[in-house]
Structure 1
Amino acid sequence: MSKNKPATLPPGTAIGGYHIVRRLSSGGFGVVYLAVGADGGQVAVKEYLPSSLATREVGELLPQVQPEKLSLYRLGLKSFFEEGRSLAQISHPSVVSVLNFFRENETVYMVMNYLEGATLQDFIITSRDQRKQKVFRESTIRSLFDEILRGLRIVHQHKMLHLDIKPANIFITDDNKAVLIDFGAAREVLNKEGNFIRPMYTPGFAAPEMYRRDASMGPWTDIYAIGACIYACMQGFPPNEAPQRLEKDRIGLALSRLRGIYSDNLIEVVEWCMSIDPLSRPQSVFALQKELSREGERRYTKLTVAEKLRLQFDTLVSDTKKNVQNVRDATGIGPTPK
């Protein structure tokens, strides 16, 4: 069997009453297409097609799965189908709308509203490249995540978790609506059941418990990712991934450099959400919403010159140790920095 990525469906392919226009995106677990329905309206169609389990030749409709991977493929298929069924019951402007879901060609398709705009990741990169002191204004961050949390709260009330919240999965529409997209239920089921070489999580945004098979997931898992997304909106880049934080946590140091630029309250909210211990995080979206809405309590700590110099010194020492360790790892020469 070919080790290449499965071939996408060509333009004009008819599935479930929809006609494929073009591929919009693809990842390790599926392909998203722009399609048109019988009424001529545009929709996004997501096809379950995990590249670690299946392949498909150009011009074919049916995925090909090796016999030893078939049970795992079907397990993910069931989870993807159930995800579509659950999302179809949710109607909220900040959650992607599932219009239809169906089985065909030995896989499952999820039909969603076609959104025009850009991802939060696109906006972060654009803002970061302008090299301003603030990547986003605090009022923008609070307003954006107020919208997202309203949608996430509904998701959790339906006994669902997103499990892959990150800037690339927060879509900002052309009419300035923030929408959660690309849920990861099938991804998480396969991670628990199979032995994939590919990671099932997004480094920097995945909570520590997502790296352990025996850990319990809950609202606190998505809340960690929300904190990481706010961090990215403040810093312009993702936080360190969880395994690195378990060895040496530099999140507090990184956030302390932002005091005086962002309010103490917002910085404390991010630290709260990104606690290593799940029990130390907000246990519900409601608890986080309550804290994030306290705009009237904003206070700013202006760092003294001595504190700024100390931060710069700590950063220099930390970076030097890291560089020395990298050289040692690469060459096997030199002592481990203390």
Structure 2
Amino acid sequence: RIEQVLGAGGFGTTYLARDTHLDKQVAIKEYFPCDIAMRAAEGTVQPATSQQEDDYKWGLDRFLLEARTLAKFSHPNIVRVVRYFEANGTAYMVMDYERGEPLKNLLIVNPRLPEAQLRRLAGPLLDGLRAVHAAGFLHRDIKPDNIFVRSDGTPVLIDFGSARHALGGETRALTAILTPGYAPLEQYSSDGRQGAWTDLYALGGVFYRCVTGTPPPDAVARMRSDTLPDGLAKAASAYSAHFLRAIAWALTLDEKKRPHNVDAWRTALLAAGAASAERTLRAAPTAAPPLRLAATPQRRSWLPLATALVVVFVVGALALGMKQHARQADAAQHDTGRLQRDVMLQFRAADTNRDGYLSAEEMHLFPFLAKEFERIDVDGDGRISPAEFQRARSIQLERRVAKRAE
């Protein structure tokens, strides 16, 4: 029995539900790649256009493969899938419901966490990540939002979206989702070489956020002007030098110079002994020695890519009607009401500063709408109101339906 929506992302919606057989709460995640899918009036999920059927099916297959793989895990620091099933043209994962809150929420209250607390988080997180990599998966979207901290302080890696599944290095349009600051350069390219080092970059970004109080700079922006060493240097008075150097190592732009497995980075990050008592960095280069890449041919090869990149975001949230309409006559009215609720859920998910409006930066979560920001901003106040967003999203969905009917 569905109780409420817990969250929504570009590839699915997560619900809080109650297992009536076991009489306990569970979390259910639905595969719904909102940028290429739509929900029909009867509640089934289907590709938005015939041209997107292959990508939709590919993502659905990966979602199920991921569910089968995660169901094999019984690791205290990986979200546990207890079962999965297909229905309504899509698929669902049923997971343990954990009590606690995302690391992102903790950082709102305390922007900088003490090193001792970060060490307690690091060990279990690395244990879980090592198990994920050993199974042939990459998370590819590690960030404070996707690290859940239980009530007892232990962390859990969550949100293993099927679009972030990586076996054999296959890359499709559906996988082009990333979070600036936490995504390394190789994730911006369709032929980027990804591996354990990709997740370690993201986790390094999480720890950068925890020691500096600010998100890590975007990898592409760092190609032009790298402010990351300065950020770490400012944290020198509160954190040991070796701890900051390990963070810098994970955040090296060149993937060949990053740690290539969890154990290597664990040794550097959690090094014990006298080094752990240090509280100063002797110089900025010492804080982050790998970050100053020389102007080599390899670095120059990234510059054309950096100028051509368009960060693709998809943030979507469409609520699942778990029961079909009791009466056909109510279908249209029910569908309209659900669409309005879904659009407002998307709006709230994108409104990260909770001011009730979407800035140009927040609108980039909707790449197609972002291109028409000025047109959507009818009153010209430089921000998108809920009404303006609702109108634009409705027009976009109408276009999808019309295109599908062609």
Q: Report what 2:86 is aligned to.
A: 103
Q: Is 1:288 aligned to residue 262 of structure 2?
A: no
2:13 to 17, 31, 38: 31
1:112 matches 2:91: no
1:110: Cα distance to partner? 0.7
The aligned residue for residue 234 of structure 1 is 211
Kindly indicate whether structure 1 or structure 2 has the higher relative contact order, using CA contacts under 8 Å at least 6 residues apart: 2
2-structure distance, mates of 1:213, 1:289: 29
Render the CA deviation track for 1:87-137: whole Å, top value 9, x for unaligned.
111111010001011111110101100011110010011112xxxxxx111
**Cα RMSD after superposing both structures:** 1.8
What does residue range 1-338 of structure 1 map to in structure 2 within 5 Å? 19-37=1-19, 38-57=21-40, 60-65=42-47, 66-128=49-111, 135-187=112-164, 192-194=171-173, 200-296=177-273, 297-298=275-276, 299-301=278-280
Q: Which one-letter code corresponds to 2:9 in the other structure?
A: G
TM-fit CA distance, 1:195: 7.4
Partner of 1:310: none
Structure 2 counterpart of 1:214, which letter?
D
**Cα separation, 2, equivalents of 1:186 and 1:201:** 10
Deviations 1:47-70 (A, max 9, x none): 00011011125x632013221111
CA contact (8 A) 2:181 2:219 kept: yes
Conserved? CA contact 2:138–2:164, under 8 Å: no
Task: Report the Cα distance in structure 2 between the residues aligned to 1:279 and 1:68, rounded to whole angstroms.
Answer: 37
Q: Which amino acid aligns with 2:248?
A: E
Cα deviations by residue, 1:25-76 (Å, 9 ceiling, x for unpaired):
111110001112222211100000011011125x632013221111110000
Between the aligned partners of 2:259 and 2:90, the Cα distance in structure 1 is: 37
CA distance in structure 2 between the partners assigned to 1:89 and 1:71 by the alignment: 28
Aligned AA (2:222): R
What is the CA–CA distance in structure 1 between the aligned matches of 2:174 and 2:100, rounded to whole Å? 36
Using the alignment, how far apart are the partners of 2:151 and 2:177 within structure 1? 30
CA contact (8 A) 2:252 2:258 kept: yes
CA distance in 1, matches of 2:164, 2:116: 34
Distance 2:224 2:270 in 1: 33
Maintained 8 Å contact 1:29/1:51: yes
The one-letter code sitting in structure 2 at the alignment partner of 1:175 is D
- 1:302 Cα offset (Å): 6.5
Q: Residue 292 of structure 1: CA displacement?
A: 2.0
CA contact (8 A) 1:54 1:64 kept: yes
* Structure-2-length-normalised TM-score: 0.65
Which residue number in structure 2 is paired with residue 322 of structure 1?
none
User: What's the offset of the Cα at 1:139?
Assistant: 0.7
- One-letter amino acid of the structure 1 residue matched with residue 36 of structure 2: L
Deviation at 1:193, TM superposition (A): 2.0
Equivalent position amino acid for 2:268 in 1: E
After TM superposition, the score normalised by the length of structure 1 is: 0.78
For the residue of structure 2 that corresponds to 1:159, the secondary structure is: coil
* Preserved CA contact (<8 Å) 1:188 1:200: no
Corresponding letter in the other structure for 1:237: T
Task: Write the letter of the residue equivalent to 1:106.
Answer: G
Q: 1 CA distance for matches of 2:34 and 2:253?
A: 31
> CA separation in 1, counterparts of 2:76 and 2:12?
24
Stretch of structure 1 that moved more, 252-261 or 280-289:
252-261
CA deviation vs aligned residue, 1:251-301 (integer Å, no higher than 9, x gap): 111111111221101110011000001111111101111122213222232
CA contact 1:170–1:181 (8 Å) conserved in 2: yes
Cα distance, 1:142 vs. partner?
1.1
Shift of 1:303: 7.1
1:232 Cα offset (Å): 0.5
Instruction: Letter of the 2:12 partner, please give it.
Output: G
**In structure 1, distance between residues paired with 2:281 and 2:248:** 19
CA shift, 1:194, in A, is 2.3
Amino acid at match of 1:300: R
Code of the aligned partner of 1:20 = I
Q: Is the 8 A contact 2:66 2:165 kept in 1?
A: no
Q: Which SS does the other structure have where 2:110 is aligned?
A: helix
Match of 2:365 in 1: none
Aligned-partner SS, 1:171: strand
